[in-house]
Amino acid sequence: MKNANANDSGLKVLVCVKQVPGSNNVKVDEKTGLLVRPKVGNKLNPYDLFALEEALNLGEGPSFEVDVLTMGPPQAKESLLECLWMGCDKAYLASDRAFGGADVLATSYTLYQAILRAGTFDLIFCGKQTTDGDTAQVGAELAEHLGIPHISNVIEIVGFEEEDANGGSRSIVVKAMQENLIVTQRLGLPCLICFDGDINTPRLPSYRRKKSVGTGEDAVKVFTLADMNDKDASHYGLKGSATQVQRIFPPEKNTDRILYDGSSEELANRLESVLRERRFIQEPQR
Amino acid sequence: MSVEFRKIDKGDIEALQNMVASRILVAGQINDDYCHDELGTAYGVPDALVRASSTLEVSNVMQYAYAHEIPVVVRGSGTGLVGGAVAVCGGIMLDVSPMNRILELDEDNLTVTVQCGVLLMELAQFCNDHGYQYCPDPGEKSATIGGNISTNAGGMRAVKYGVTRDAVRALTAVLPTGEVVELGGKVVKNSSGYSLLNLVIGSEGTLAVVTQATLKIIPKPEYSMSILVPFSSMGEAIKAVPRIIGAKVTPVAIEYMSRDVILFAEDYLGKKFPTHASDAYLLMSFDGNTKEAVVHDQEVVSDLCLELGALDVLLIDTEERSASVWSARSAFLEAIKGSTDLMDECDVVVPRSRVADFILYTHEIASKVGLRIPSFGHAGDGNLHIYLCRDGLDDCAWNARRSEAFRLMYAKAHEFGGQVSGEHGIGLDKKEYLSEVLGPVQMRLMRGIKAVFDPKGLLNPNKVV
């Protein structure tokens, strides 16, 4: 049977988030290749907010829990506090000098190790990508470490099924956006879901909750390397990364413009043929 | 008191064609969009639509029109709401939207000089790109700066930064005779005779044609944030405003909005607002040069709001959060328009201490005359945007109820020490209420001023006075 929400379901959801630069217009110093951090500080990765909203929107009640996890420097705690102000129950921060410089492999491995310490979860939610790394791979790699099913580009949670026809475990039904179609998929729990962007309007942090959470000394649990099951530093950070960044440079901006003159009808026809030539629109499929 | 003017003939068209390199359209070629404004209550077809591209062209057209006694109505984007840019007496419609160049950024004097057809959104972007802020922030971003100056547009940041008038240092204006005058200057102070600059600002194209403006800018505040504060009723929300104003921190903006208007905006934009659990909200913003200072102000106001019965205070501190709330706020007018077949509006301004009483009074009027009257507006400066929705009424019932509602509202605004319009202007639609509120002496002075600038009464005839 499908249920639209998870009120008092006993479900535990973990949302993975990241703190990113506060402005989306981060510039790269062309000489040094370093990111020029804007003055506006940091913020929660906007894509993660859609995942967080899906989680918080799933249900309420004492036995429904949404926790949040990030890996980052100590100041990443600010972003976790913000998640608590939005309604999350518990927050976990994986933070250690040994975790610095991690690529997607080392990042997802660190998150995996942190999850082993944080507890067991029925659902793990991730955003589509971050606005500073843009790889869109951490979610899927994390699921591989955990050995659970996963799906990307999810646009909607359809509901839950208590048991399937084969007597299997509880499952979730989601809709995912593929290249040319929307797939409705059922995944057994536990599973990991990466959400698409712009699928909801994330709620705003509450000042009331901010005041009750306080500075978060008790609210945010920190995991260092010493807390992990795997304490081998070579599996984390730069040392545990399979890839190395050679160079960072700003992408070339294409500002080509074509101007056409003519009547509205001529312009419309011209525009249509250009869009067809460049495959932005296609002949209807027969 | 409508005056008959002569119609434009073939000779006039030929003469005008030469002046503006044939950028002229005549009746039959003129799109209906040029016959009304954004609200569409006034309607008039110009005899000719002339697109001017320079002060010289405007001057030549004005000189010709003056000599041949042809009325002239100036038009920018046509986003007005009171019929100000509608050619109700025919004649020439002077479209100045092609004059859309940003001419100079003067970083020594903190001014930007623009042609009158520059759009507000273009000006804001330009200033932002250079690390500055043009302070006035009217909701209609596709309006031209010339139109903003003509109505002395206010906008949302008026609480802290004032209105368009406060940001205009100098104007180039063309008089009805075609003479070009430079009013004001790149000076911070000015005590040099009557301020013709300030007479032209807010004169709704009845005294002169503004072709160029030098505007004050400030270094862009380094940090800004907003809060959205839900209250259980509109009365509670608005009653908090004078206390907030008195809390010795100055928010940039204090807007109020009701749940029904938020739902219209969701429908109109096809996007959800971050919350609509409550019936009434205050939306406030703060800015400054350090995050600590801004957060301090925000916390003072947030604590006060909670003390005054706010259900919560929601924090808006990123580009995305800001966009999700302020984009809806910017769409309220269009959204209410989309909720009915026809609407009329009232943008009275009352002392800030009377805003709550006035809004509650509009609710009384709504049930008394039988009209739906949604509203939103600038609680922080007392300027309300109140909309009367026709909702399928027949002409007779609509006109009767609308007149009655307006009569009651303007009388109450007057009683509270308010004014007819906070920022939309008088145009054609609010003339009768202006003379009722200001009385014969002030109207006589205004008509005298009009006669000095425009002795033949050719510039935007039948408007304001």
Which of B311, B303, B325 has the alpha carbon at shortest distance from B280? B311
Average pLDDT over residues A195-223: 92
Q: Are B155 and B45 in contact (CB under 8 A)?
A: no
Judged by phi (left if over 0) then psi (alpha if -120 to 50, else beta), residue A227 lies in alpha
Q: Are B249 and B315 in contact (CB under 8 A)?
A: no
Q: What residues of B are in contact with residue A203 (Cβ under 8 Å)?
A: 274-275, 314
What is the pLDDT at residue A133?
A: 79
- Over pLDDT 70: what percentage of chain A? 89
- Taking residue B60's Cβ as centre, other Cβ atoms within 10 Å add up to 19
Average pLDDT over residues A87-98: 96
- Over pLDDT 90: what percentage of chain B? 91
A contact residues 21-50, partner B, Cβ 8 Å cutoff? 22-24, 39-41, 43-44, 46, 49
Q: What is the pTM of this model?
A: 0.86
- Taking residue A45's Cβ as centre, other Cβ atoms within 10 Å add up to 25
Complex prediction ipTM? 0.84
Average pLDDT over residues B345-373: 94
What is the pLDDT at residue A135?
A: 87
Which of A40, A43, A203 comes nearest B274 by C-beta? A203
Chain A's closest residue to B299, CA to CA, is: A207
Confidence of residue A257 (pLDDT cuts 50, 70, 90): confident
Distance CA B339, CA B17 (A): 43
Question: What is the nearest CA distance from B224 to chain A, expressed in angstroms?
Answer: 9
Distance CA A46, CA A40 (A): 15
What is the pLDDT at residue A3?
A: 58
Confidence of residue B368 (pLDDT cuts 50, 70, 90): very high
Q: Cβ separation of B314 and A22 shorter than 8 Å?
A: no
Q: Which of A108-122, A128-142, A263-277 has the highest mean pLDDT?
A: A108-122
pLDDT tops 90 at residue B133 = yes
- Ranking A213-227, B49-63, B178-192 by mean pLDDT, the lowest is A213-227
Question: What is the nearest CA distance from B275 to chain A, expressed in angstroms?
Answer: 7
What is the pLDDT at residue B401?
A: 97
pLDDT tops 50 at residue B11 = yes
What is the pLDDT at residue A25?
A: 67
pLDDT tops 60 at residue B2 = no
Vertex B25 angle, CA B20 and B31, to 5°: 135
Can you give the residue ranges of every domain in chain A? 7-235
What is the pLDDT at residue B68?
A: 96
Topology at the third CATH level for domain A7-235: Rossmann fold (3.40.50)
pLDDT tops 80 at residue A8 = no
Query: pLDDT tens for residues B384-411?
Result: 999 999 999 999 999 999 999 999 999 9
What is the pLDDT at residue A1?
A: 44
pLDDT tops 60 at residue B1 = no
pLDDT tops 60 at residue B272 = yes
Would you call A57 an interface residue with chain B, using a CB distance cutoff of 8 Å? no
Phi, psi dihedral angles at B326 (to 5 degrees)? -70, -25
Confidence of residue B426 (pLDDT cuts 50, 70, 90): very high
B contact residues 102-141, partner A, Cβ 8 Å cutoff? none
What is the pLDDT at residue A90?
A: 95
- Over pLDDT 70: what percentage of chain B? 99
Q: What residues of A are in contact with residue B271 (Cβ under 8 Å)?
A: 201
What is the pLDDT at residue A179?
A: 80
Q: Are B286 and B226 in contact (CB under 8 A)?
A: yes
Which of B416, B408, B418 has the alpha carbon at shortest distance from B362? B408
Confidence of residue B6 (pLDDT cuts 50, 70, 90): confident
Average pLDDT over residues B351-376: 94
Q: Cβ separation of A40 and B313 shorter than 8 Å?
A: no
CA A198 to chain centre: 12
Return the higher-pLDDT residue of B88 and A264.
B88
Average pLDDT over residues B440-463: 97
As a whole number, the mean pLDDT across chain B is 94
- Over pLDDT 90: what percentage of chain A? 65
Judged by phi (left if over 0) then psi (alpha if -120 to 50, else beta), residue B46 lies in beta
Give the pairing of strands A65-71 and B48-51.
unpaired
